[in-house]
Amino acid sequence: LRHSHVVITDRDEILVPRGHETWQDLITAIDKPNRGAYLFQHAYFRRNKTSDDDPHLITQQSLWRTPEVTPPGKIRCKSMYKALKAVKIDLHFPYEILIGAEEHILEPEEGMLHHYRIQPMETFRKNPEQFTFIEDEFMLKYGLKLKRKVKEVKERLSL
């Protein structure tokens, strides 16, 4: 087995461990033998440019999000699966995991799906007065390392 876990997300989404420094730390803290899938609730982040450093590092530029995860629970969540327990997986939640395996919905403090939208979601377009946004600088803690890695890759690829 080459990988212990599998994740499926859209291109404008990132699963983020928020309660621990690394993915390994998070999984170690919340894992149980019968866990087959970890479900991440999400918050919408407005895509905006707040920095001139690199226009492609949206996690370092789009810092305004909906204050609560939308919606709580399994609807529109994204999942991380234990590879050995996943039978039929889906973009949002498991269709089937091994008998006896269970799903675990993470609290936003443990981990969250950051959903970076260029266009506002349909509900926002219809009812913008229902939405507020809060500043969330969580991803800035990865900024220096991320920028260094991107620079290294660009140099290696002669970009």
In tens, the pLDDT along 98-128 reads: 899 999 999 999 999 999 887 666 666 676 6
The pTM score is 0.83
Q: What 3-state class would DSSP assign to 5?
A: strand
pLDDT class of 18 with cuts at 50, 70, 90: very high
Closest CA to 8 of 89, 88, 84, 76: 89
Task: Give the pLDDT score at 159.
Answer: 81
> Which residues lie closer than 8 Å to 39 by C-beta, 6 or more apart?
74, 77, 78, 79, 93, 103, 104, 105, 106
Predicted confidence (pLDDT) at residue 70 exceeds the cutoff of 90: no
